[in-house]
């Protein structure tokens, strides 16, 4: 529920702006107050009158409107809400945000606000995939801007691919996650998830079967309890949850760099299936079949991210949680792993093929801590995630 919450909704100029009218309705249904801001381009798609009527509020449109400034200055406006939402966030608005421009009301609010910002990108697939937009996405993620979507599918322009604005209800879920006032409010929790890809050459890589399902569910549950979650993910099968700060990586080394730059954190959960080894000298060009015979790959050990963070002398998160995917002697191996790596808890599970856990929807885990071990019954990964998040909230009290 969003009762009593105030959302400042910046509507950018894209065809998806029509969905923002429904978004206003959905946010209000959950109890939020919505103050709309229209960019000049947005007014080509939705009218100030319909926006204002649905919001039940005045619409702000102009940086230099003397009446508006007299009533509420743009700086005050930028700070009057609990959350700033940009939907649709066009390529142009994202570029302005990434570049720090402040030449109209929307961009000035985004520069001046002291609140968190959630954006719902929407644009043509080529614009989304353009190198400039991809650079801006990385910059914005680094600035802790929250993303929801875009979705993939048929677009208004007739093309197909990523770039459709997330559906209003998904945006509402992300708003709820960002504004949640649960027991983890004010806490920063880092979660790693998914597999890593270790290149052999520009077209081949070594990977593993991790889907990212358990890590994603944990990030979602932590966020639902009010945590600010930094979600560092390898190339996973499942999409990141809404309302978390996503850092996408490919390799173990990139995952370590992203983790280091996301610290400090109150707690860290290492659910990623990190490759233990990388190819020592990955080739810059494609390895060809030919007269050199069968290639031999030499491996080098990857950094152990969990052990590195567990053993930090300064800036160690108060609670460090690792996972142990084992196929035999689960408890003994996992307990030894906890000691070796120096983490506080290990969540151990049996990933033998007959359990169907790896890549499946259920998990049966044992929580190992300094106090001993607890076996949890088999349940869905979503339920395991909720229990882990609840235990983390208890531990950080």
Which residues share a beta bridge with 190?
230, 268
Q: Report, in Å, the least distance between residue 356 CB and ligand CTP.
A: 19
Q: Which is nearer to ligand CTP, 130 or 316 (CB)?
A: 316
Q: Report, in Å, the least distance between residue 274 CB and ligand CTP.
A: 3
Q: Report, in Å, the least distance between residue 320 CB and ligand CTP.
A: 9
Phi-psi region of 66 (alpha: psi -120 to 50; beta: other; left: phi over 0): alpha
Q: What torsion do the CA atoms of 297, 301, 306, 308 make, to the nearest 10 degrees?
A: -150
Integer CA distances (angstroms), 235 to 90, 300, 329, 340, in order: 25, 21, 30, 27
Q: Which is nearer to ligand CTP, 12 or 234 (CB)?
A: 234
Asked if omega into 275 is within 30° of 0 (cis), the reply is no
Question: What is the SS3 assignment for 100?
Answer: coil
List residues binding ligand CTP (CB under 6 A).
192, 252, 270, 272, 274, 276, 302, 304-306, 322-325, 337
**Six token digits for residue 72:** 């509420």
Q: Which is nearer to ligand CTP, 244 or 324 (CB)?
A: 324
Contact 184, 220 (CB under 8 A): no
Return the residue matching tokens 């070594």: 206
In angstroms, the CA 217 to CA 238 distance is: 10
In angstroms, the CA 54 to CA 66 distance is: 25
Q: Report, in Å, the least distance between residue 382 CB and ligand CTP.
A: 19
Classify the C-alpha dihedral 365-370-373-379 as positive or negative.
negative
Q: Which is nearer to ligand CTP, 192 or 233 (CB)?
A: 192
Residue 118 CB coordination number (10 Å): 24
Residue of 53, 72, 157, 336 marked active site: 157
Q: Report, in Å, the least distance between residue 215 CB and ligand CTP.
A: 9
Q: Report, in Å, the least distance between residue 191 CB and ligand CTP.
A: 10
Q: What torsion do the CA atoms of 191, 362, 359, 215 make, to the nearest 10 degrees?
A: 0
Q: Which is nearer to ligand CTP, 21 or 191 (CB)?
A: 191
Is 157 designated active site?
A: yes
Q: Which is nearer to ligand CTP, 226 or 322 (CB)?
A: 322
Active-site amino acid positions: 157
């Amino acid at each position: 529920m969003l009762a009593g919450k105030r959302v400042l909704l910046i509507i950018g100029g894209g065809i998806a702006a029509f969905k923002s009218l429904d978004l206003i309705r959905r946010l209000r249904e959950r109890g939020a107050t919505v103050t709309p801001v229209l960019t000049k381009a947005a007014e080509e798609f939705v009218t100030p009158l319909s926006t204002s009527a649905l919001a039940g509020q005045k619409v702000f449109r102009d940086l230099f409107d003397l009446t508006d400034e007299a009533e509420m200055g743009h700086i005050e406006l930028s700070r009057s809400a609990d959350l700033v939402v940009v939907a649709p966030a066009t390529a142009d608005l994202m570029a302005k945000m990434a570049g720090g421009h402040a030449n109209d009301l929307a961009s000035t609010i985004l520069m001046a606000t002291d609140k968190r910002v959630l954006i719902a990108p929407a644009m043509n697939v080529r614009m989304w995939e353009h190198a400039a937009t991809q650079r801006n996405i990385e910059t914005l993620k680094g600035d802790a801007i929250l993303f929801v979507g875009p979705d993939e599918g048929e677009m208004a322009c007739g093309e197909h691919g990523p770039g459709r604005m997330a559906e209003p209800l998904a945006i509402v879920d992300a708003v709820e996650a960002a504004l949640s006032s649960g027991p983890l409010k004010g806490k920063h929790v880092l979660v790693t998830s998914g597999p890593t890809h270790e290149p052999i050459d520009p077209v081949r890589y070594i990977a593993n079967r991790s889907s990212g399902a358990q890590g994603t569910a944990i990030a979602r549950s932590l966020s639902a309890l009010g945590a600010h979650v930094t979600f560092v993910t390898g190339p996973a099968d499942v999409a990141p949850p809404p309302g978390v700060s996503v850092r996408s990586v490919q390799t173990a080394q990139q995952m370590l760099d992203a983790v280091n730059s996301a610290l400090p954190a109150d707690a860290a959960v290492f659910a990623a299936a990190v490759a233990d080894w990388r190819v020592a000298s990955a080739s810059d060009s494609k390895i060809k079949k030919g007269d050199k015979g069968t290639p031999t790959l030499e491996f080098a050990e990857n950094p152990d991210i969990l052990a590195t963070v567990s053993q930090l002398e300064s800036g160690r998160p108060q609670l460090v949680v690792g996972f142990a995917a084992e196929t035999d002697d689960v408890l003994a191996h996992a307990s030894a792993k906890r000691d070796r790596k120096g983490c506080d808890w290990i969540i151990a599970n049996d990933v033998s093929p007959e359990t169907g856990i790896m890549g499946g929807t259920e998990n049966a885990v044992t929580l190992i801590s300094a106090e001993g071990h607890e076996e949890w019954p088999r349940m869905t990964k979503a339920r395991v995630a909720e229990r882990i998040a609840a235990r983390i909230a208890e531990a950080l009290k």
